[in-house]
């Protein structure tokens, strides 16, 4: 009897883990207003950091991005600063033209909580990765 429960748990575990990812509309590229850039900050699903949702700020907008989700920040073209902070902080600064930019949020192990990192990603790589993400609900 115990063996059947163990097999059942093994079969159901992947379904339970997949259900933890964010639900929402699949990735849709925005058309930014003239003289604005769109910064897509996305977070591929990883079980180890699924409970963490630190605030990510780009320009004047802030969002808490869940695992398997993304948020589109519309910012004026020019100098853009994006940051995230828990017990450590990470900052990405760049000069933006009116086009799309992609930043992947990742986590490394920390003492009290995960350490977030913002990694700028080139468009080709980001296009394949962000397709599995859903829009972050407001």
Is 93 among the domain residues? yes
* Of 54, 56, 37, nearest in space to 94 by CA: 37
Q: Give the three-class secondary structure for 126.
A: helix
Is 17 among the domain residues? no
Q: Give the three-class secondary structure for 20.
A: coil
77 vs 28: CA distance, rounded Å:
21
Strand partners, 101: 39
* Of 68, 110, 60, 48, nearest in space to 85 by CA: 110
Q: What is the CATH number of the domain that holds 129?
A: 2.60.40
> Structurally, how many domains does the chain consist of?
1
Is 15 among the domain residues? no
Instruction: Please count the residues of the chain.
Output: 138
Instruction: Work out whether strand 78-85 and strand 134-135 pair parallel, antiparallel, or are unpaired.
Output: unpaired
DSSP code for 132: T
Is 11 among the domain residues? no
Q: Give the three-class secondary structure for 80.
A: strand
pTM of the model: 0.79
107 vs 89: CA distance, rounded Å:
11
pLDDT band, very low/low/confident/very high, at 33 (cuts 50, 70, 90): confident
70 vs 50: CA distance, rounded Å:
14
Is 38 among the domain residues? yes
pLDDT band, very low/low/confident/very high, at 23 (cuts 50, 70, 90): low
- Domain with 83, as residue range(s), is 22-135
pLDDT at 90: 95
CB count within 10 Å of CB 40 equals 23
Better pLDDT: 34 or 11: 34
Is 55 among the domain residues? yes
Is 34 among the domain residues? yes
């Amino acid at each position: 009897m115990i063996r059947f429960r163990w097999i059942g748990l093994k079969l159901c575990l992947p379904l339970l883990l997949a259900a933890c990812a964010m639900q929402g509309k699949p990735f849709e590229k925005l058309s930014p207003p003239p003289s604005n850039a769109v910064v897509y900050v996305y977070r591929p699903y990883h079980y180890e950091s699924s409970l963490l949702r630190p605030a990510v700020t780009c320009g004047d907008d802030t969002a808490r991005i869940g695992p398997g989700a993304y948020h589109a920040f519309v910012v004026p073209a020019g100098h853009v600063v994006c940051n995230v902070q828990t017990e450590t902080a990470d900052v990405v600064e760049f000069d933006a033209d009116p086009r799309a930019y992609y930043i992947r949020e990742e986590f490394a192990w920390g003492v009290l909580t995960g350490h977030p990192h913002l990694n700028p990603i080139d468009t080709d790589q980001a296009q394949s990765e962000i397709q599995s993400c859903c829009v972050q609900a407001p």
